[in-house]
Structure 1
């Protein structure tokens, strides 16, 4: 009911809103709530109506009497069982359809009770319950009220946006109505704050947000409305919201009011306006949050203001910033950072803990990270702008830390250390920003590793955290300044920067193998749990930059000697993916060797990604750039990479701490990649021979799939039948190769054969076309034989793989029979095309008299063969299949050949089919019924 009411409401809202998307959304939401209310009402009514009967059944079961069937009441009176105590509700007259059956507790001659008709009673009570549910929905729980207020607020915002267009009454009147609605919500909510606190607080928050909306809309929509007056009123409203929240000690009210206030510019973003007004508006709201933070430690309110402010600034800065907005943006950013740093200090002051006051890490790090990022964007075009921005943030955080250490050294210990670390980080950041980040990102990484080592030696967690963060920052700076243009190999910023970041991270990962000592404080214990979990991510981080260093060298370009010319790549761009892949696979092999010798489990992980690296290189190099794996020098690198991959597979199967299923999936993926590689090798021969417009090119992928499936059948299939004498990898992955990997390849073979038979005309140039002895027919026949061999092999496996038993069913046999039927028919179509001159077009082939006559005779011969074989093997189902094909042939003669064929062709078709049907009737009469119908087609 909820779904259907939601759909109906969505359609109604969509139509009522003039096919706008918001109408669809709001209508669907309202419809869902109405459906929920009616469903609850119906369920409640059904429960009330069946309650007496349920009580009787429960009482009877408790006394060992079977429950009566209300639909099949006994014809004779049933003796009453031992009297039992039944709740009073069960003694009231029944008013539902179940009361038609006599109660087993009373004699059958009981006087009938006059009742209300069941249908009308249910309808009446359902309507009443629906009205009660709707009333409870409007005036009930806090969650429902809040959802309704959100919908109301969205509707009012749409009304304010719509006020910009011409309407039935002036814009001023519309805005006045919205203000009146907001004041009404605020007043009614304040009046009900004592009796219904949750309801009243929600209404007050919605009223404040509505007034915000109206004032902001007035500035946008009314040319003569004074901006100064609007902002003065906003200050008043903001002060009112602060006062109400503080008066009632309601974080929910403050959150609702400020969330609505921050949402106003977003809801009215399309109405135009000056960004300065938005900045002043947000600053007023942030100042109000700072005012509240002096009296209440409401973290949710602080976070709403922080994310709304810096989120809006980031969105505007990346989409709409213009150089002329620099002064306004700079002032807004500075004020916002100061407000939320101060808010973080006030929150720490108001939240004491066992080991010192609690800090809000989001408000400590957030203004530094978000504010510095925005500041860099503002001053990026000014000389040393980023360096001075870093020094400014360092001065702010170090200054606050020095001030708090002077007055609150003990209680603010955690916050002081955090601010000192942030300030020192900005000082460290200012130096490379002034000197050039390309050469200093590597120095940061080494500095971070050194800080981590010092913290490890001194059993201090703060230096270790600082070291980790500094390495992350170094990596981000490296990515931001990445440039592969360099004349000197290896000794260039791209290679050295990534390599030093990798070595620092790998060293850190090695130190993190065991839990590190700490001071024993609560913060240290919490950090230790997080730090120990970073061992694997740190290794993967370092390995990724190790591979990035070699990739940067592979794609390096040398500056051109000509002015204005583009740099010249050192390696051919088409060959670069293979070079990068070989470097990654070789690096994974080295990591695996390290894991073997040092018993370091995480060092095995890169070897699991060798197959994705091979696949990606094949997709980019072969498919993207058109290179062939057998080209020179590609085949050397591919051979080395595949050899290393197989070696890693061998080691992983014996020593890697990985699930066997994941290792088996790697083997399966390698088989599928092998199909593509074999096809690519065959395509090279097609290209060298210039056979792209012939059937040789059309069957390349099919032949590759057949070859791989046949190899799996002969090797893995044999291993699945004989448990002894198995070698790697079939000693443990025989089923993965013979069954799991073979399933998609068998599907490719089946689908490829079907498409090839239907689409390929069989041009065998430079050889002449010979029926059956041409690339298409040979490939189709081989595909059918390979599929049948694989099917029989899987059924003979010991044990049979899960799901493989279906291959012995009628469905699998019918699929193979259907493929064989298509193959035989398309052989005749290609004969008619090449030898009889019928054009290779589906319309022309089907319109050809010769083709239709041949098909009729061919189908009859096939039917005759099936029926004769079925008669000799006593397979009744197979005989019926042949008979069905024969009936289809007769139907074709009557509907197609009789009307379309010429005289000679008609005679040949009818006479040939008739004679063959006589032969069928003589040689293959209907055999008796099989005892095993599932084997009829075997």
Structure 2
């Protein structure tokens, strides 16, 4: 990862947001300043207006029409947008070439370029002697200065432009004399340049002439460029630029000319940057670093002078171009200079951060410089932030960034500074996404895990602070608090399970469950100290997450689940304990308390069922006992739920829910088990006694508990639902009776316990017909006793099934004794039923007949 690029992006974003903030504040203050004060009208005029009468000829229609027109005009004014202000640089260039004496300005520029090219050409072709060339240009420069001085009061800045051109030509003469011809030594050349700088600065200040200053400065900066031959000393170039910047500094002490400051800044750092890219090497550090520091301090001071010397006007009160542009340009140059030194970038960033912090402390107490002080404080934070990754590894840097981001968010919320908060959020999010990418491994060190904890704490605190200050957030920003809380939880589960696996257990599921328990306990304790509704609501997901981890792990398991493997008994025990602790604590607060009670019950049943199944299989038990182990947990829990008349005090309000839905879910699982158990034969090594063996007894008990559940909750069901439940139960009971008979045939007649084998057995067919007929008789007898017509119809339907079976199955083999017996017995039973158990009367029809009579 390119850390430097990221740092510069952060720095650029920070500068952009601060500039936007400054412009916004300046616009507000300027708007207040420009408002015209209210001037009360003359007393006589007021009296006169009051005495004026409204003409009676003005109709109501005319008044309404005028009001409508005024409303339309107001709406148009409201919706119209004011034109956007053009760029200041564009305005200056436009004014330069359109305002004042246009010909003089253009001519001055062309003349200067021509003279510069002439000097270069003469130096290369030796047309004139060196002294002659320089004397001619010097005379021309003096002439322009004198003429410009005399014409300094002429309109269009004519004289000022001539003076500026003359100053620039003097720069040209001195620079050429020292560089190309070696007529002047460097000491004399710089002394003369210093003199020219002083003269130009004094003239500009005395005449209050910005064009003079601009012409002389721009010309001075262009001299090395226009006369360059590709070689030369960078020391001479930068020293020459230092003198030019000194002139700008002197002028800035007396005049707040922003354009002049920006022109000098751009020339200096653009040319210095180009040289650094093309020519710099590490052996030139000692002769380059002092100039960069000097330039930086000069323009830093100029930006402060601009604020302090500028007339107190809200507009342009802080020069954002210099304040923010200077570090944005200078620091990359500094990084390029010190990139071969160990911690060079870090020390540079720390020095800049400290410098800006000292300036903040110095300027913050003055009303005029408070906004500038805030900008310097922001830059101090930025550079301290940048120093971190240069001092530490990427993982440590990201962790420290998170703390810094949280601190910035806290300060920004306290001071209600939107853009500062955005910067803190950017830092925090950067640390969240960078850190796991750098350190996430299956086995992480303690230091790496502590880095995760630092980021989690910083993210959690930031989420809490944002939620506490919702009034400062926009509609979109209000979701950020929940997003950060979610990210903190995700980071917790990315780190803590991995660390636990290195100490206590290599089972990933146990590590996830223990991490969930530990995290929930920490959040639970936290809610005792801070009242955060979002956090309390988030804890509702505790059990759901535990179930999610468990079932996801099941999908990756190709063997029988063993939940209590390793520390599983401890982890799942703690999971259940903490779940009921939270349910008890937030009973009146949570929205989904009932649902969570039921989910917890079912989850406990699933865990214990899987554990019992695992151990039964581990002991190589018979298939029938393995099936019994699957049903035991749900059956026992169902009995404990349905039998008590009262529960524990804090669970008592949910007793009906437990008995209806909780037990209903368990019985539903038992019914599915019942269907699966029908296919299981009895234990091969045990004597089989129908209904008195473990599997039959347990299946019968399941049907009994299902019947009891229907009776217990009958007030909760409609009549149709109850009839449906009873019908399903009756069908299962019939199948259960048939299965008992099939198992008996399997054990005593040694018929293979498979459907095809049993169906082809004549003994089984005959017995099944007789069994079903007897069940039908029982149903019909019950219907007669309870006068229940639907019950009789059910028995009759079963008899119809028996008859169909006799003719389509038994009739094919009517020659066998078994089939003959089945026909005789069933026929006899039908005759007896028709005599003793006739169809019960229809109560509804009888009631209708009685009402008619």
- TM-score, with normalisation over the residues of structure 1? 0.47
Which residue of structure 2 lines up, in the alignment, with residue 912 of structure 1? Answer: 825
Instruction: Give deviations 1:731-778, integer Å, cap 9, x for gaps.
Output: 322233222333333322223212322x2223x255333322233322
Shift of 1:853: 1.0
CA contact 2:517–2:574 (8 Å) conserved in 1: no
Which residue of structure 2 lines up, in the alignment, with residue 850 of structure 1? Answer: 763
- Name the CA distance, whole Å, in 1 between partners of 2:782 and 2:710: 22
Which residue of structure 2 lines up, in the alignment, with residue 504 of structure 1? Answer: 458
- Name the CA distance, whole Å, in 1 between partners of 2:561 and 2:841: 62
Which residue of structure 2 lines up, in the alignment, with residue 761 of structure 1? Answer: 681
- Name the CA distance, whole Å, in 1 between partners of 2:529 and 2:684: 58
Residue 672 (1) aligns with residue 602 (2): yes
Q: Mark the runs of 5 or more structure 2 residues left unpaired by the alignment.
A: 1-314, 317-339, 349-370, 848-853
Counterpart secondary structure, 1:672: helix
Distance 1:698 1:486, change over 3 A: closer
Instruction: Give deviations 1:505-527, integer Å, cap 9, x for gaps.
Output: 1222333343289xxxxxxx6x5
Counterpart secondary structure, 1:727: coil
After TM superposition, list the pairs within 5 Å mapping 1:771-920 onto structure 2: 771-795=690-714, 800-801=715-716, 804-806=717-719, 809-920=722-833
- Name the CA distance, whole Å, in 2 between partners of 1:450 and 1:906: 91
Give aligned pairs, total: 479
- Name the CA distance, whole Å, in 2 between partners of 1:932 and 1:817: 27
Which residue of structure 2 lines up, in the alignment, with residue 607 of structure 1? Answer: 539
Shift of 1:554: 1.9
Residue 454 (1) aligns with residue 411 (2): yes
Query: Based on CA coordinates, which of the two structures has the bigger radius of gyration?
Result: 2
Counterpart secondary structure, 1:653: coil
Of residues 633, 637, 645, the one that matches 1:704 is: 633
- Name the CA distance, whole Å, in 2 between partners of 1:596 and 1:540: 20
Distance 1:456 1:881, change over 3 A: closer
Residue 745 (1) aligns with residue 662 (2): no
Shift of 1:704: 2.8
- Name the CA distance, whole Å, in 2 between partners of 1:807 and 1:737: 23
CA contact 2:690–2:740 (8 Å) conserved in 1: yes
Distance 1:572 1:510, change over 3 A: closer
CA contact 1:502–1:545 (8 Å) conserved in 2: yes
Residue 619 (1) aligns with residue 538 (2): no
CA contact 2:500–2:511 (8 Å) conserved in 1: yes
Which residue of structure 1 lines up, in the alignment, with residue 655 of structure 2? Answer: 734
- Name the CA distance, whole Å, in 1 between partners of 2:814 and 2:637: 45
After TM superposition, list the pairs within 5 Å mapping 1:428-577 onto structure 2: 432=389, 436-484=393-441, 488=445, 490=446, 492-493=447-448, 495-515=449-469, 527-556=473-502, 570-573=503-506, 575-577=507-509
Shift of 1:606: 4.1
Which residue of structure 2 lines up, in the alignment, with residue 640 of structure 1? Answer: 574
CA contact 2:561–2:610 (8 Å) conserved in 1: no
Distance 1:810 1:865, change over 3 A: same
Counterpart secondary structure, 1:598: coil
Which residue of structure 2 lines up, in the alignment, with residue 123 of structure 1? Answer: none
Instruction: Give deviations 1:107-159, integer Å, cap 9, x for gaps.
Output: xxxxxxxxxxxxxxxxxxxxxxxxxxxxxxxxxxxxxxxxxxxxxxxxxxxxx
Counterpart secondary structure, 2:427: helix
CA contact 1:459–1:516 (8 Å) conserved in 2: no
Shift of 1:553: 1.0
User: Which deviates more, 828-837 or 914-923?
Assistant: 914-923
- Name the CA distance, whole Å, in 2 between partners of 1:709 and 1:480: 48
CA contact 1:589–1:648 (8 Å) conserved in 2: no
Counterpart secondary structure, 2:753: coil
Distance 1:906 1:466, change over 3 A: same
Instruction: Give deviations 1:36-62, integer Å, cap 9, x for gaps.
Output: xxxxxxxxxxxxxxxxxxxxxxxxxxx
Counterpart secondary structure, 2:660: helix
Shift of 1:475: 0.8
- Name the CA distance, whole Å, in 1 between partners of 2:596 and 2:842: 49
Instruction: Give deviations 1:538-561, integer Å, cap 9, x for gaps.
Output: 3343344344442231244xxxxx
Q: Mark the runs of 5 or more structure 1 residues left unpaired by the alignment.
A: 1-354, 357-382, 392-413, 518-524, 557-569, 720-725
Shift of 1:466: 0.9
Counterpart secondary structure, 2:713: helix
Shift of 1:819: 1.0
In terms of fraction of residues, the more helix-rich structure is 2
After TM superposition, list the pairs within 5 Å mapping 1:224-623 onto structure 2: 432=389, 436-484=393-441, 488=445, 490=446, 492-493=447-448, 495-515=449-469, 527-556=473-502, 570-573=503-506, 575-619=507-551
Counterpart secondary structure, 2:842: coil
- Name the CA distance, whole Å, in 2 between partners of 1:822 and 1:933: 35
- Structure number with greater CO (CA < 8 Å, separation at least 6) is 2
CA contact 1:513–1:535 (8 Å) conserved in 2: yes
Instruction: Give deviations 1:148-190, integer Å, cap 9, x for gaps.
Output: xxxxxxxxxxxxxxxxxxxxxxxxxxxxxxxxxxxxxxxxxxx
Which residue of structure 1 lines up, in the alignment, with residue 365 of structure 2? Answer: none
After TM superposition, list the pairs within 5 Å mapping 1:144-293 onto structure 2: none
Counterpart secondary structure, 1:837: coil
Shift of 1:647: 0.7
How big is the alpha-carbon RMSD for the aligned residues of Structure 1 and Structure 2?
3.8
- Name the CA distance, whole Å, in 1 between partners of 2:495 and 2:719: 51
After TM superposition, list the pairs within 5 Å mapping 1:656-671 onto structure 2: 656=589, 658-659=590-591, 662-671=592-601
CA contact 2:543–2:579 (8 Å) conserved in 1: yes
Counterpart secondary structure, 1:809: helix
Shift of 1:786: 0.8
Counterpart secondary structure, 1:512: helix
Shift of 1:933: 12
Shift of 1:611: 0.7
Distance 1:877 1:435, change over 3 A: closer
Which residue of structure 1 lines up, in the alignment, with residue 186 of structure 2? Answer: none
- Name the CA distance, whole Å, in 2 between partners of 1:466 and 1:608: 32
CA contact 1:515–1:532 (8 Å) conserved in 2: no
Shift of 1:677: 1.7
- Name the CA distance, whole Å, in 2 between partners of 1:933 and 1:903: 48
User: Which deviates more, 774-783 or 867-876?
Assistant: 867-876
Distance 1:599 1:881, change over 3 A: same
Which residue of structure 1 lines up, in the alignment, with residue 689 of structure 2? Answer: 770
Shift of 1:900: 2.8
Which residue of structure 2 lines up, in the alignment, with residue 924 of structure 1? Answer: 837
Shift of 1:620: 5.2
CA contact 2:442–2:498 (8 Å) conserved in 1: no
CA contact 1:452–1:463 (8 Å) conserved in 2: yes
- Name the CA distance, whole Å, in 2 between partners of 1:579 and 1:619: 15
Shift of 1:602: 2.6
CA contact 2:398–2:431 (8 Å) conserved in 1: yes
CA contact 1:577–1:621 (8 Å) conserved in 2: yes
